Structure 1
Amino acid sequence: MKYLGLLCLVMVINYNAGNAQVRTKGADEKVSQLTDMIAKKSIISLNLNKFKEYVKNPPRDYSFIIMFTAMAPSRRCAICQHVYDEYLIVANSFRFSPSYTNKLFFGMVDFDEGSDVFQMLRLNTAPVIMHFPAKGKPKPADTMDFERAGIHAEAIAKWIQDRTDHQIRVFRPPNYSGAVAFAMVIILVAGFLYLRRNNLEFLYNKQMWATAAVFFCFAMVSGQMWNQIRGPPFYHRTKNGPVYINGGSHGQFVLESYIVAILNGAVVVGMILMIEAGGGVRSTGAAAVGGGGAGAADGKRRRFQSVVGLVLVCVFFSLLLSVFRAKTQGYPYSFLFK
């Protein structure tokens, strides 16, 4: 009996060791095949069969970052191309970085080529970036939240580091268009000042500097700096039509920032009209005491100006509140519009 028990133990150990060798060999074969694929392109295109073989089915000792997208023009996904460009920058940066390892791969599933994968994962939107860990199933945190993190390559790399502990330093291809445009503006301004070197009184014009300051405030309040940092899409297309206002409080569209700037500008114009009309009340009253008909006419003009200013402030401030209510669910206050 002792020899029989010992024989069974040896058989079990040999069986487990054989299975471990098979799993290790299978995982090594997958890694070798994936390495050959990324030698041609940093992002591996996956269909249903490849997704099952390299992502779902064991053995697997590597993580997979996959972007689910719909790149065909007929799908009308305006943001998909932009997110793919940033995703490609991250994949290329990892592939050619000194910290490259064969424990992390980047893939992509296009809806027209892998609609079955979308159905398997119950995905009904695009784009989506998911992390498939080496062990276990993806958790809710393994799906990237674009509204919170953004869609820039740096944001994607940081999210990948949080999920996989692989640090990726993003290397962007050089783009000199911004530097050239800025240099051209500086040259034009310098040339204009040189031509007007004997007549620079306009630099002391308070209204010009006040207007420039107001436009700068409009740009900052509307979120132009946020656009430069996060790189949101111009607007979003849905089945029900285009959407110009982002419904979340952590995101916005480029067109939305323009709308907010225009609304703020209209409110400011209304305030200026009322202030100017109020400032002329004394002079209008003095002219009326003198019996001049021009004073009465000027009084009517200023009253009309104040009414127009009040209407502008009320209407466009109400629209600003409506935009804020659309982005902040549960905000209880409104003015003229809901």
Structure 2
Amino acid sequence: MQLQTILFCSIVIFNVFVGSARDERPKTLEQKVQQLNEMYTKKFVLRFNGPKFKEFVKQPPRNYSVIMMFTAMASHRQCSICGHASDEFIIVANSYRYTHRFDGPLYFGIVDFDEGSDIFQMMRINTAPVFMHFPPKGKPKPLDTMDIQRVGFASEMIAKWIQERTDVQIRIFRPPNYSSTFALSILFAICSSFLYIRRNNMEMFFNKNLWGIGAVIFCLTMTSGQMWNHIRGPPLMHRTQQGVITYIHNSSQGQFIVETYIIIILNTILVFGAVIMTDSYSKKTDSKTRKIMAVVGLVLVVFLFSVILSIFKSKAHGYPYSFLIK
């Protein structure tokens, strides 16, 4: 009986050692691709922890590229742009899934700091979000890290960067947003109701001041970059590595949403200064009031023009001109 017990225990221990040795043995390329495809059919953005990252991303052999997003989505991490960046990254991954075959040569993955802090230490990453390309052979080069401070992280820019690094072209498909259609329908209904109520009194539509105000509002909206925001979907603002919040993008190829509001406010005040400066000539008031209006309008125009020119100079590096403010 003791001999049988010893023999049984020996067989169990031998099987355990053989199983562990088999698990520790590196997977072949076919096994890794098959396992990635199985995970990819369930979820098109793979989540990696330390062991999975080492196995599928760091260790050879590989014949596929991995586009990895390093992020910190937890609220206590206070990453204000990580949520927006994740949405854009998922749009790119979803667009790739619908326009390409499911198996390789490109996979999308996410590493969250709370799930893979050891990966952040391994890659020497101390900020988030970071987009990085891991090529099929060799280590990532400096250009394999996307410069989001220069180009932003809109899905179109991510797709362009992926094409530059992998020669894989991704056509972006954004999910339909019915809120704009709903708001436009409500606005159309309100305007139609107003026209029906005032159908016997249409003098207001021939008011020059009303049309002038509408034209100025339209120009201010277009020149501030609202359409660019609608197309590119930039972040609200940006937090630097030092934790400083910046509201003005440092490149002429990008802008933030808050920056748009700043520009439209500055342009509005500048237009107001120009209006009171020109109105000072036609106002039927005493000369002293007209002089004050002219001086105030001139000061507003000159100062606001200097501020806007200074902002443009900070974005267009190498621009030589400035006025009052450098």
TM more than 0.5: yes
Which digits, 9 at most, give the CA deviation of each residue in 1:288-329, with x for residues without a partner? xxxxxxxxx621111111111112112222221232233233
Do the aligned partners of 1:150 and 1:230 also contact (CA within 8 Å) in 2?
A: no
After TM superposition, the score normalised by the length of structure 2 is: 0.84
Which digits, 9 at most, give the CA deviation of each residue in 1:110-137, with x for residues without a partner? 2232233233333333212222121233
After TM superposition, the score normalised by the length of structure 1 is: 0.81
Quick one: structure 1 residues 98 and 332, their matched pair in 2 at CA, closer, same or farther if it must change by over 3 Å? closer
Partner of 1:198: 200
Partner of 1:165: 167
- After TM superposition, the structure 1 = structure 2 runs for residues 282-297 of structure 1, keeping only pairs within 5 Å, are none
Deviation at 1:73, TM superposition (A): 1.6
- After TM superposition, the structure 1 = structure 2 runs for residues 145-156 of structure 1, keeping only pairs within 5 Å, are 145-146=147-148, 149-156=151-158
Q: SS at the partner of 2:81?
A: helix
Partner of 1:184: 186
Partner of 2:276: 273
1:326 aligns with 2:314: yes
Q: Distance in 2 between matches of 1:112 and 1:25?
A: 27
Partner of 2:143: 141
Which digits, 9 at most, give the CA deviation of each residue in 1:137-181, with x for residues without a partner? 323332234356553334333433343233434443332111111
Partner of 1:7: none
User: How many residues get paired?
Assistant: 301
Partner of 1:64: 66
Q: Which residue identity lines up with residue 54 of structure 1 in the other structure?
A: F
Deviation at 1:244, TM superposition (A): 1.3
Do the aligned partners of 1:142 and 1:163 also contact (CA within 8 Å) in 2?
A: yes
State, as a whole percentage, how many aligned pairs show the same letter. Answer: 55
Match of 1:125 among 124, 127, 149: 127
1:251 aligns with 2:254: yes
Q: Distance in 2 between matches of 1:155 and 1:66?
A: 15
Q: Where in structure 1 do 4 or more consecutive aligned residues deviate above 6 Å?
A: none
Quick one: structure 1 residues 146 and 240, their matched pair in 2 at CA, closer, same or farther if it must change by over 3 Å? closer
Q: Distance in 2 between matches of 1:96 and 1:328?
A: 38
Partner of 2:244: 241
Q: Distance in 2 between matches of 1:242 and 1:77?
A: 11
Q: Which residue identity lines up with residue 246 of structure 1 in the other structure?
A: H
Q: Distance in 2 between matches of 1:139 and 1:216?
A: 45
Give 5+ residue unaligned stretches, structure 1: 1-22, 285-296
Quick one: structure 1 residues 31 and 48, their matched pair in 2 at CA, closer, same or farther if it must change by over 3 Å? same
Quick one: structure 1 residues 313 and 129, their matched pair in 2 at CA, closer, same or farther if it must change by over 3 Å? same
Q: Which residue identity lines up with residue 306 of structure 1 in the other structure?
A: A
Give 5+ residue unaligned stretches, structure 2: 1-24
Deviation at 1:219, TM superposition (A): 1.1
Quick one: structure 1 residues 80 and 219, their matched pair in 2 at CA, closer, same or farther if it must change by over 3 Å? same
Q: Which residue identity lines up with residue 168 of structure 1 in the other structure?
A: I
Q: Distance in 2 between matches of 1:208 and 1:194?
A: 19
Quick one: structure 1 residues 110 and 198, their matched pair in 2 at CA, closer, same or farther if it must change by over 3 Å? same
Q: Distance in 2 between matches of 1:244 and 1:98?
A: 37
Q: SS at the partner of 2:183?
A: helix
Q: Which residue identity lines up with residue 227 of structure 2 in the other structure?
A: M
Q: Distance in 1 between matches of 2:174 and 2:254?
A: 24
Q: Distance in 1 between matches of 2:252 and 2:122?
A: 31
Do the aligned partners of 1:24 and 1:59 also contact (CA within 8 Å) in 2?
A: no
